[in-house]
């Protein structure tokens, strides 16, 4: 299966997993072993109906998966900027 199909299927399956809330977004932390028994950590967040999948144990970077089955590589700094923008919407970061 191609990358777009795999990423979209993964995002669809996330609906069956428990998630945490962070700001207005859903967050998943998924841990799993590969065939060589090395553990991996995926951090998945949502922002404006897009999913951002970060391979934490893989050295940064990730994928952005859109609602229209679009998948694009994501710079690790872009994810940080999105998180900071989401935090800025909370009352303690805004104007009184």
**Distance (Å, whole) CA 58 – CA 42:** 9
pLDDT for residue 54? 85
pLDDT for residue 81? 60
pLDDT for residue 34? 84
Domains held by the chain: number: 1
Token pair 């805004």: residue: 94
pLDDT for residue 75? 67
> Residue 96: inside a domain, yes or no?
no
Q: Which residues contact 34 (CB under 8 A, 6 or more apart)?
A: 40
Collect the ranges in the chain with pLDDT lower than 70.
Answer: 1, 22, 58-60, 75-96
pLDDT for residue 11? 83
> Residue 45: inside a domain, yes or no?
yes
> Residue 95: inside a domain, yes or no?
no
pTM value?
A: 0.66
pLDDT for residue 79? 55
The parent domain of residue 83 ranges over 3-90
């Amino acid at each position: 299966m191609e990358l777009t199909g795999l990423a979209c299927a993964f995002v669809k399956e996330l609906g069956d997993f428990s998630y945490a809330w962070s700001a207005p977004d859903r967050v998943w932390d998924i841990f799993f072993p590969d065939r060589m028994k090395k553990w991996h950590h995926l951090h998945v967040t949502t922002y404006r109906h897009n999913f951002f999948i970060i391979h934490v144990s893989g050295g940064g970077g990730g994928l952005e998966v859109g609602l229209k089955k679009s998948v694009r590589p994501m710079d690790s700094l872009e994810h940080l900027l999105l998180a900071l923008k989401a935090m800025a919407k909370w009352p303690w970061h805004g104007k009184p």
